[in-house]
Amino acid sequence: MGKRQHDIFNCELIVVTGKGGVGKTTVAAALGLIASQANTETIVCEVAGQRRVPGLIGHPTVGEPGSEEELAPDLWTTTIDPERALVEWAGRLIRPRALLDLAVRSNSFSGFINAAPGGRELLTIAKAAELSRDDRWDQDSDGYELVILDAPASGHGLAMLKTPTTFAEIARVGPIANQAREVEALLADSERSHVVLVSTLEETPVNETLELQSAIAEQLGRGPDLIIANGLITDELSDQELEEASPRLDAAVADAVNSRHARLLLQREQLGRLREGAACALITLPAISSHAVGPDELEQLATMLREQLAQLD
């Protein structure tokens, strides 16, 4: 294993969450790229049927949903399917095999997931945790050194972090309770798991990020480990340059430039709020000029993210 480049990678599981649309999947993929380039065997997990990471890396997916696909040296991806995860987990408990096959054919697992409040969330986070274990549910598979979970957005992401505690309290004894307690212990351990919040520099995402920070601290007994402010405008004119240039610009161009400058000022205000309220390290990533993020843009973001993480050391 190569040397990890920042403490954020020095764990078993990184959970990435934030308001929808802030770029958390891109950040999760960039973190995976950085870790794998440091020779850390890494898997980036998506949820809810999403399969965006392969395209971001430049490796369009060809595997079945739920399969673990290698995208680059030391970098894999998967999409966690709660029902499939339950079948894998139950396969360690149900003997003989014929009983497991019967349960699958009778849709018993699907019924459990749909009936148990929080069942999907528990199985998703439990599966992510399982991927880092040497003792995998699938005994033919090896564990990864680092698992990065592209978790659901804000409220749903928080619910996923709460679910192991809820199930451990309800079940109390038995295999479900034991599994829930294992995940609960992992999430509460700041050396084994890290939480990364992603936000854009707008009022609502910043509000949600600060609220999520407090809720995570209450739930896990510790706050997030890193906040990433995404989409910062950096290529702007100063106030004086804008004032001097505006009279020489076409009206439509001047409007666009002034609008962008106004957005920059709002971003600076929100960045100040975020810096003031953040209880952990905060770094920024610039806005990408391209309309879509692909392999080149992701590599660019990963390089800038790596550099900023190094500055935190």
Residues 230-245 pLDDT 10s: 999 876 655 655 555 5
Q: For the full predicted model, state whether its pTM sits above 0.95.
A: no
* Averaged pLDDT for residues 238-256: 58
Per-residue pLDDT at 45 exceeds 80 = yes
Whether residue 122 is contained in a domain is answered as: yes
When pLDDT is averaged across residues 80-98 and rounded to a whole number, the result is 67
- With 0-12 / 13-18 / 19 or more C-beta atoms within 10 angstroms meaning exposed / middle / buried, residue 72 is middle
Cβ(82)–Cβ(52) below 8 Å:
no
Residue 200 lies in a domain: yes
- Range in 54-63, 130-139, 205-214, 251-260 with the lowest mean pLDDT: 251-260
Q: What's the CA gap between 202 and 271, in Å, rounded?
A: 9
| Percent of the chain at pLDDT exceeding 70 | 77
Q: Which domain holds residue 107?
A: 11-310
Average pLDDT, the chain: 83
1, part of any domain? no
pLDDT at 103: 42
- Residue 2 belongs to a domain: no
Assess if residue 6 is contained within a domain.
no
Long-range CB pairs of 178-183, under 8 A, 24+ apart, other chains included: 179/89, 179/122, 179/126, 180/122, 180/126, 182/126, 182/129, 183/122, 183/125, 183/126, 183/129
Give domain status of residue 268, yes or no.
yes
Instruction: Give the pLDDT confidence score for residue 97 in this predicted structure.
Output: 52
Asked if residue 144 belongs to a domain, the reply is: yes
Structural domains in the chain (count): 1
19 inside domain: yes
How are strands ordered across the β-sheet holding 146-150?
A: 69-72, 75-79, 42-46, 146-150, 13-18, 193-200, 226-232, 281-286
Q: Which of the residue ranges 43-57, 103-117, 129-143, 250-264 would you say has the lowest mean pLDDT?
A: 103-117
For the domain that residue 242 is a member of, what is the CATH number? 3.40.50.300
Question: Could you tell me which residue, 65 or 184, shows the higher pLDDT?
Answer: 184
d(C-alpha 215, C-alpha 34), whole Å = 28
pLDDT digits (tens, 9 = 90+) for 118-142: 778 888 998 999 999 888 877 778 8
The pLDDT value given to residue 17: 96
pLDDT value of position 303: 94
